[in-house]
Amino acid sequence: MKINMAHGSGGNATRELIRDLFQKYLTNEYLEKMEDAASLPGSKYPLALTTDSFVITPLEFPGGDIGKLAVCGTVNDLWMSGAEPEYLTAGFILEEGLDFSLLEKVIASLSKAAKEAGVKIVAGDTKVVQGNGGLYINTAGLGFQKYNQSMVSGTVLPGDAIIVNGDLGNHHACIMSQRMEIINNIQSDCANLGPAVKEILQSGAEVRLMRDITRGGLGTILNEIAESKNALIEVEETKIPVDPEVQSFCEILGLDPLYMANEGKFLCITSQKDEEKVLEILQNHPLGKRARCIGHILNTDKFQVTVKTRLGGRRIVDILYGEGLPRIC
Amino acid sequence: MKINMAHGSGGNATRELIRDLFQKYLTNEYLEKMEDAASLPGSKYPLALTTDSFVITPLEFPGGDIGKLAVCGTVNDLWMSGAEPEYLTAGFILEEGLDFSLLEKVIASLSKAAKEAGVKIVAGDTKVVQGNGGLYINTAGLGFQKYNQSMVSGTVLPGDAIIVNGDLGNHHACIMSQRMEIINNIQSDCANLGPAVKEILQSGAEVRLMRDITRGGLGTILNEIAESKNALIEVEETKIPVDPEVQSFCEILGLDPLYMANEGKFLCITSQKDEEKVLEILQNHPLGKRARCIGHILNTDKFQVTVKTRLGGRRIVDILYGEGLPRIC
């Protein structure tokens, strides 16, 4: 069975699709009321709200699919702000011709990821557009900021450590391999970062800020941080963790892991004194076995990102220019 | 200038697009922090959360555009649950080839609608996909349920009045006219229902429930209510308000206003004793000048929707079957 325009009419076909698919996999006490808006308990904690649209192709890839990604991406954004994710909304834009069984697999995967992340899908929407069997998913996430105490100042200090939780570039290399039909073992790192982040936040370590290293890659994100904090950041090329297979892939294709997208990696800036503490927490966690301190904040009087190269030189790291890889997330 | 794939890369082109367009029109104290999630104050009130994706074509139409629609649609969903809208997220999926000046008009319109509705866009996301210059917008809305006291029981009673705030079918007839290049004066009714709904909720009238009459039309929505409340609903054909020009349009094309989409219409079920009170509030408000009581809840022992026809007969009103009008919202 294929999705057709009638599934977006708001009438009978839409209702059947919602009943046979969305309600089957996603139901909970909020969603089953089928009201215009979900009614949720209030919160004494500050709220965190975020949104992300997912347009990745292919819809399924080694290590995940668009459904898992749509949960992990938004849940991770909430964790980065020190918030425990509670509720998601999900908006589906289906292209005509989308295979019903593929959609079902994606929804099942989204449901599983939501359960694992401890979030409920409380509101949804489905539209159908002309096209070639594609699928876009938007998720918005609402969380409660229970843990952001040390991040509220928004400042970084000279000496602060920049820690990443593991190998960079896997998601990017995986999607690119799929598109180019290159056979290898590279899997996307698509993951809910919550369990590792929660341990760090609960440890009382002085966390200045966290950012997930998605579109644009580490280089772009370090530049955004440098700019917003007026900070001089230096990282060491030899300390940036990259999986050997991804490294070979990059060398063959002339890619730089600094600009490659990830879906299960984040950077955490901590005070110098808590560098070891955070590293230890991460290295003892499945999501951070290959965590490293890759550099430090050198100064906060001008903004720039530099990298100390393998050969001991120093070069400026700019933001990503040009196209990057389209539809990577 | 046209949108191209580089605008979705997460690198330089994305940053320029965000700076020159989204920040220019949408900035506020939350959005300007450019963090992964917006940090918002907590709430002693219950929260209301909703989402809607907008895929309408054409992007501009008499009475509105996709930007205005993306705010009004989501804000209205929050009001329907008795919540005052506070924050929106906005996810933009741009098709390659989209005209920058058209996108700018849409964003300016979205910004204006948000200001008028008293909501702030606190988180956003932009993606670019291959295509033909189209645009999809997802908005999620967060509100505080300050006014839903009388709606919490979730029940309706025999004798309850069903009130609509005005003429049905305008949005549907407007979009159809645009697509068929029929020249007439029909405008979309696209509007933020907040000011009228707030007056009703603040009046203390016993409101059982409210629903906006969008995709699927009044017939479908009455059926959804009848089913969820196990209610027998009867409406009178002669009391359903329809603009004369829309009525002629429907007669020529064989359309039934019962199944036509609206973007500024809602139905309000009130206790019998407050029927007049709610009608008076609406009829004295610009958003409800042509408000009518169109029928009543007859019983709550089986679910069905019937209409008393012009000729005095009675027929069953079913939900919308088939395609409806694609991409109406």
CA B220 → CA A21, A70, A160, B167, B271, distances in Å?
20, 30, 59, 17, 22
Same domain, A241 and A110: no
Find, among B27, B25, B113, the residue nearest to B72 by Cα.
B113
Same domain, B301 and B195: yes
Per cent of chain B over pLDDT 90 is: 90
Q: What is the DSSP letter of A187?
A: -
Q: Taking CB atoms and an 8 Å cutoff, what residues of chain A touch B83?
A: 37, 39
In a domain, B41, yes or no: yes
Report the distance separating Cα B63 and Cα B187, nearest Å.
Answer: 5
Contact B293, B239 (CB under 8 A): yes
Confidence check: pLDDT of B100 > 90: yes
Q: Does A11 sit within 8 Å of B259, measured CB to CB?
A: yes
Length of chain A: 329
pLDDT of residue A173: 98
Same domain, B103 and B168: no
Give helix then strand counts, H and E, for chain B: 9, 14
Same domain, B140 and B156: no
Chain centre to alpha carbon of residue A137: 14
Name the least confident of A204-218, A273-287, A308-322: A308-322
Report the distance separating Cα B30 and Cα B110, nearest Å.
Answer: 17
pLDDT of residue A303: 95
pLDDT of residue A9: 83
pLDDT in tens, A298-315: 999 999 999 999 999 999
Q: Taking CB atoms and an 8 Å cutoff, what residues of chain B touch A137?
A: none
Tokens of A295: 């550099």
pTM of the model: 0.97
CB pairs under 8 A between A and B: 268
In a domain, A127, yes or no: yes
In a domain, B42, yes or no: yes
Report the distance separating Cα A135 and Cα A128, nearest Å.
Answer: 9
Find, among B260, B259, B268, B269, the residue nearest to B288 by Cα.
B268
For B230, phi then psi, to 5°, come to 50, 50
Query: What amino acid occupies position A327?
Result: R
Confidence check: pLDDT of A21 > 90: yes
List all residues 6 or more positions away from B24 whose beta carbon is below 8 Å from its beta carbon: none
In a domain, B162, yes or no: yes
Same domain, A62 and A121: yes
Confidence check: pLDDT of A253 > 80: yes
Contact B14, A220 (CB under 8 A): no
pLDDT in tens, B162-195: 999 999 999 999 999 999 999 999 999 999 999 9
ipTM exceeds 0.90, yes or no: yes
pLDDT of residue B9: 83
Q: Does B145 sit within 8 Å of A39, measured CB to CB?
A: yes
Same domain, B115 and B169: no
Q: In DSSP terms, which residues pair with B64 in a beta bridge?
A: B61
* Domain closes at, from B146, B167, B195: B146
Q: Taking CB atoms and an 8 Å cutoff, what residues of chain A touch B228?
A: 34
Among candidates B35, B142, B215 on the partner chain, residue whose Cβ is nearest the Cβ of A10: B215
Q: Taking CB atoms and an 8 Å cutoff, what residues of chain A touch B124?
A: 51
Q: Taking CB atoms and an 8 Å cutoff, what residues of chain B touch A5?
A: 323, 326
Question: Per the omega criterion (within 30 degrees of 0), is the bond before A286 cis?
Answer: no
- Please give the average per-residue pLDDT across B60-86, as a whole number: 97
Half-sphere exposure of A39 (CA within 13 A, CB side): 20
Measured in angstroms, the CA of B39 and the nearest CA of chain A are apart by 5
pLDDT of residue A241: 98
Same domain, A137 and A157: no
Cα R_g (chain A), whole angstroms: 21
Among candidates B10, B136, B320 on the partner chain, residue whose Cβ is nearest the Cβ of A9: B320
- Here the CATH number for the domain that contains residue A47 is 3.30.1330.10
In a domain, B325, yes or no: no
Categorize the per-residue pLDDT at B150 as very low, low, confident or very high, splitting at 50, 70 and 90. confident
Confidence check: pLDDT of B148 > 80: no
pLDDT of residue A102: 98
List all residues 6 or more positions away from A39 whose beta carbon is below 8 Å from its beta carbon: A30, B46, B47, B48, B81, B83, B145, B148
* Domain closes at, from A101, A128, A146: A146
- Here the CATH number for the domain that contains residue A294 is 3.90.650.10
pLDDT of residue B62: 98
Confidence check: pLDDT of B75 > 90: yes
Same domain, B115 and B234: no
Same domain, A16 and A41: yes
Look-up of token digits 């500024």: B264
Measured in angstroms, the CA of B243 and the nearest CA of chain A are apart by 23
Report the distance separating Cα A307 and Cα A295, nearest Å.
Answer: 9
Q: Does B53 sit within 8 Å of A40, measured CB to CB?
A: no
Report the distance separating Cα B40 and Cα B126, nearest Å.
Answer: 22
In a domain, B33, yes or no: yes
Per cent of chain B over pLDDT 70 is: 100
In a domain, B322, yes or no: no
* Domain closes at, from B122, B146, B170: B146
Domain count within chain B: 2
Same domain, A124 and A194: no
Report the distance separating Cα A49 and Cα B86, nearest Å.
Answer: 12
Same domain, A226 and A123: no
Categorize the per-residue pLDDT at A136 as very low, low, confident or very high, splitting at 50, 70 and 90. very high
Q: Does A320 sit within 8 Å of B10, measured CB to CB?
A: yes
Q: By residue range, what is the domain housing residue A34?
A: 5-146
Chain centre to alpha carbon of residue A31: 25
Same domain, A161 and A118: no
pLDDT of residue B154: 80
Q: Pick from B9, B135, B150 the residue to mutate for testing the A interface (most A CBs within 10 Å).
A: B9
Look-up of token digits 């590792």: A196
In a domain, A158, yes or no: yes
- Please give the average per-residue pLDDT across A269-292, as a whole number: 98
For B145-291, where are the E strands, in sequence order? Answer: 161-164, 207-212, 232-236, 266-270
- Please give the average per-residue pLDDT across A179-192, as a whole number: 97
